[in-house]
Structure 1
Amino acid sequence: MTLLGLAFNSLRFRRGSFAATFINVFLGAVVLMSFASLFDTAGGVGVSSADASSLTTIAAAVGGWGLVIVGFGVASTMNLSVRQRQAELALLKATGAMPSQIGRIIVGEGAAISIMAALLGIVPAWLIGRVVLDALTSTDQIADDVSYRFGPLALIAGLSTTLLATAGATTISARAAGRVTAREALSQAATDGRSIGRGRIIAGGLLLVVGISCALTTATVLKDEGFTTLSVAGQACIASAIGLALLSPLVLRGLIRSVELVTRPLTGAAGYLATTAIRQRTGQATAITMPVIILTGLAAGTLYIQKIQNAANAADGITVSADDKGVETLNFIIVGMIALFAAIVLINNCVASLLARRQEFGLTRKLGATPGQILRAVAFETMFAAASGLALGTISAAIGIAGFQYGRTGSLRLDLDAVPYLAIVGTVVVLAITASLTAARRSLAAPMIDAAGVART
């Protein structure tokens, strides 16, 4: 059997991981192609230079950050999938497979999923792109006579960026898997003990510095620069969120020791199972934490930055222009789509990580744990990962909000409504707990003896 055939055969037996990655890539392709269609629309007949410039700017801005966020979401799912397959990869290495061959298997799977997902995303992207243009014209940011076009630029830009994001994500996962020896892979299959790489720490630190720098620039250099100030403040939230997401494994490992000391007397056996699982499988916990950080940082940051802008305009007696309304509408559209993508990544990662633990749950039941204890342990793990993500996401949002607040009002004093933030927290908790407990119950539905010998996902 060829390596590509082996890759496809592996996908057939790992439907859970395949579905999670497929959905993430599909939604990412829809987001990227829908906004890339604005390039085609900008090049249409009769489009004014001002409208063409606005459409191109919007498409480029969303495409750039969309590529980063989609790539990040796909990378988290691919990394989770690779971690779940350490025993399989160890067996391949033990039978003589080279690291480059292991890499080609992983990249081949990613490419196959990416192509299928991107092609199926064309029709939804066409529909959503039309909705985006309608929103722009309804707020008078684009002339009403601009006709929607979904052409080669949307397909080329959308498909190429989707493939680029997936290729980058799978290449990183493949390189990490290729560096692990067969003996290490077998031990990591049980403990998920791979340490965080130096490159990841450096990248996370640099992005965090970029986010803080954008916030400082917003507070000092870009005071009252309108859309530019809003844009840079938003970039501060995004860069900080991605940086903290990359560093989240270090945070989880540091927090779990303190949490264990406090909660162990209160949670009993379920708490012991949960804290042990988090220590040994930090990578799976961060698969939940990372999309929560992105979702919280981006949603909270954008919502409150816009609220600060509106409140400052009202205090100064400034009449909101059509352009300002258009910017606000555009912000909500962009953030809504990317936040939806992050939310679905969260659900997929919760489900994929728990379905892959069917064998672990079966062995735990053989050792005497009850299904109720396992479910409580899963709830504890999920709440810990989600709460950590909410805390780090809040920090990333606060970086951008503080910079914009000072630059717009000259003060760091905030008087904001807590309802939007509480809505974000509630949404994250409900999504994470519902997805995790549903997947855990499905894993526990199998007979104990059968589950203890099943490793498929």
Structure 2
Amino acid sequence: MMWRLAVLTVRAHIGSYFAPAAVMTAGTALLTAFASLLETGLETGRSAGFLIMLPAILGGWTVAIVAFGVVSTVSLTIQHREQELALLRSIAATPRQIRQNVVLETAIVALPAVAAGLLPGIALGSVVLGRLVGGGLVSAPTALSAGWLCVAIGAGTSLSAAVGAALISSGRAASIPPVRALSEASPSARPLARARAVSGLGLLAVGLSLAAATLFMADGPLLSSTAGPAGVAVAVGLALLSPLAVTPVRWLSNARLGATTRLAARNAHVRAGHSAGVASPLILLVGIAAGTLYMQSTEDSVHRGPAVAGDVSAQLAPVNYLIVIMIIGFSAIVVINTLVAATRRRRREFGLLRLSAATRGQVLKMVAIEAVVTAGIAVVLGTLAAAATTVPYSMVKTGSPIASGPAWMYLAVVGGAFLLVMLATIPTTMGALRVRPVDALSAA
């Protein structure tokens, strides 16, 4: 009975589940690529040092990135269905049944999504292996191994993250009073729950500890094993604490900047938790992109000139850039899917604004201002996270806290963040505004 209800629910909300499914597919592909390299190193034994070291160093904090991306999108999808779940509670569904139904729905979406990511992941692993062989870091010929270990790591991590997010979010959904089903809008939740605050502060402490440990490490290939995870931990910690960064925008609601700007500021302040959910993957994207790119450019500045025999850092540079692009690509997918899903769920709000005499242009301008504010907060917090990687790494490599690399690279990261936000929110808002206001009020 529960399986049947879960299947019917997924069919009814197939559009809402597209975002977490896409993130799970991309995350599985990324993890499978690293896992295939690890399995190849364990089975062949030839040049196993690089085939094991590379996924061990980079794959470890990639697991954290993928897990955070999957958890954030699954949680956002379930959060958007709180009113519907409250309605089920009002017709005698028990909290246990709500939790079971949410977990089953997530599993139904996750299984095919994860399976779809395995083959692209093996293909990515093959590309990275080809770069390693071409750079002389792995002896040729070496064939990629993709067996049970590869599948277990890639699929298992994504599935575990999805089910974990469902268990956490369903606990909150099951505790919703049935009377909530009678209200159109959810009451303002606490901007920052205790568990989220504790987790965020804990990750910040871990990240700063790793950054400090980097300062005392010897210069070598293992330096990134602490510098990289430091930035990721700080980025996730700041993402969890981001509701506190969103709330100060309320001062804009009293500024003489126009009615639309004041409305956008009030929306961001009142919906701090929702705004933070949108900003979180963007914080991670900016932190990872700026941190890893400048970490590698600092490495390049120390090893200028053509690669010579035994110059491992120079030989690894093309491989590292390829992996960085893969991780940034995954983070961009998370950002786009999160923003599109969050904007689509605001159709009812847009319809109510238009019935209150707001024009399409005013609503679109309001969303654009919200997007700029959200992106601005994410860029600031993401830059702080990147500093946790670049500052200690650069101190060890060059003696300067300022990372080596062109300024345009940071500007490209910032510009790309704003561009992603606009490309995801503006067209989605325009599509939502094509719906008649009266029809939008009854939209699911």
CA distance in 1, matches of 2:307, 2:32: 36
Partner of 2:217: 222
Q: For 1:110-133, what per-residue CA distance to the aligned partner results, in whole angstroms no more than 9, with x for missing partners? A: 111111111112221221111111
CA distance in 1, matches of 2:356, 2:184: 21
Shift of 1:355: 0.9
Q: Say whether 1:237 aligns with 2:227.
A: no
Q: Which moved more, 1:204-213 or 1:327-336?
A: 327-336
Q: For 1:54-79, what per-residue CA distance to the aligned partner results, in whole angstroms no more than 9, with x for missing partners? A: 21232334443222211211111122
Partner of 1:293: 283
**Which residue type is aligned with residue 72 of structure 1?**
F
How many residues align? The count is 444
Superposed counterparts of 1:421-432, under 5 Å: 421-432=410-421
Q: For 1:377-423, what per-residue CA distance to the aligned partner results, in whole angstroms no more than 9, with x for missing partners? A: 01011111111111100001112211122222333355642101111
Shift of 1:134: 0.6
Q: Say whether 1:404 aligns with 2:393.
A: yes
Partner of 1:246: 240
CA distance in 1, matches of 2:300, 2:260: 47
Runs of 4+ in structure 1 off by over 6 angstroms are 317-320
**Which residue type is aligned with residue 76 of structure 2?**
L
Shift of 1:246: 0.9
Partner of 1:278: 268
- Partner SS for 1:190: coil
RMSD across aligned positions (CA):
2.2
User: Is the 2:118–2:155 contact (alpha carbons within 8 Å) kept by the matching residues of 1?
Assistant: no
Shift of 1:177: 2.0
**Which residue type is aligned with residue 283 of structure 2?**
I
- Partner SS for 1:15: coil
Shift of 1:260: 3.3
Q: For 1:24-70, what per-residue CA distance to the aligned partner results, in whole angstroms no more than 9, with x for missing partners? A: 1110111111221123322445x42xx22321232334443222211
TM-score by length of 1: 0.91
TM-score by length of 2: 0.94
Query: Which of residues 88, 95, 98 in structure 1 aligns to 2:91?
Result: 95
Q: Which moved more, 1:329-338 or 1:128-137?
A: 329-338
Query: Which of residues 148, 154, 172 in structure 2 aligns to 1:158?
Result: 154
User: Is the 2:70–2:158 contact (alpha carbons within 8 Å) kept by the matching residues of 1?
Assistant: no
Partner of 2:125: 129
1:413–1:146 distance in 2 versus 1, CA, 3 Å: closer
User: What are the ranges of 5 or more consecutive residues in structure 2 without an aligned counterpart?
Assistant: none
1:185–1:400 distance in 2 versus 1, CA, 3 Å: farther
Q: Say whether 1:305 aligns with 2:304.
A: no
- Partner SS for 1:150: coil
- Partner SS for 2:15: helix
CA distance in 2, matches of 1:70, 1:59: 14
CA distance in 1, matches of 2:308, 2:391: 24
Shift of 1:429: 0.9
**Which residue type is aligned with residue 262 of structure 2?**
Y
Partner of 1:369: 358
Q: Which moved more, 1:364-373 or 1:164-173?
A: 164-173
Query: Which of residues 126, 137, 143 in structure 2 aligns to 1:141?
Result: 137
Query: Which of residues 333, 349, 355 in structure 2 aligns to 1:344?
Result: 333
CA distance in 2, matches of 1:177, 1:408: 49
Q: Say whether 1:213 aligns with 2:202.
A: no
Q: Say whether 1:15 aligns with 2:14.
A: yes
Partner of 1:265: 256
Query: Which of residues 48, 57, 60 in structure 1 aligns to 2:53?
Result: 57
User: Is the 1:29–1:121 contact (alpha carbons within 8 Å) kept by the matching residues of 2?
Assistant: yes
User: Is the 1:76–1:287 contact (alpha carbons within 8 Å) kept by the matching residues of 2?
Assistant: yes
User: Is the 1:293–1:390 contact (alpha carbons within 8 Å) kept by the matching residues of 2?
Assistant: yes
User: Is the 1:350–1:435 contact (alpha carbons within 8 Å) kept by the matching residues of 2?
Assistant: yes
CA distance in 2, matches of 1:128, 1:166: 23
CA distance in 2, matches of 1:198, 1:135: 46
Partner of 1:34: 33
Superposed counterparts of 1:37-48, under 5 Å: 37-45=36-44, 47-48=45-46
**Which residue type is aligned with residue 422 of structure 1?**
L
User: Is the 1:299–1:339 contact (alpha carbons within 8 Å) kept by the matching residues of 2?
Assistant: yes
CA distance in 2, matches of 1:308, 1:6: 54
**Which residue type is aligned with residue 282 of structure 1?**
A
Shift of 1:185: 6.6
Q: For 1:325-383, what per-residue CA distance to the aligned partner results, in whole angstroms no more than 9, with x for missing partners? A: 34323332332212111111111111111111111111110110000000000101111
Shift of 1:163: 1.1
CA distance in 2, matches of 1:189, 1:63: 41
Shift of 1:320: 8.4
Query: Which of residues 175, 179, 185 in structure 2 aligns to 1:179?
Result: 175
Partner of 1:327: 316
Query: Which of residues 90, 101, 108 in structure 2 aligns to 1:105?
Result: 101
Aligned identity (percent) is 35
Partner of 2:3: 4
**Which residue type is aligned with residue 373 of structure 2?**
F
Q: Which moved more, 1:172-181 or 1:227-236?
A: 172-181
Shift of 1:218: 1.4
CA distance in 1, matches of 2:238, 2:426: 27
Shift of 1:196: 2.4
Shift of 1:6: 2.1
User: Is the 1:140–1:322 contact (alpha carbons within 8 Å) kept by the matching residues of 2?
Assistant: no
**Which residue type is aligned with residue 253 of structure 2?**
E
Q: For 1:246-298, what per-residue CA distance to the aligned partner results, in whole angstroms no more than 9, with x for missing partners? A: 11112111x2123434xx422x2321331222123223312321111111111
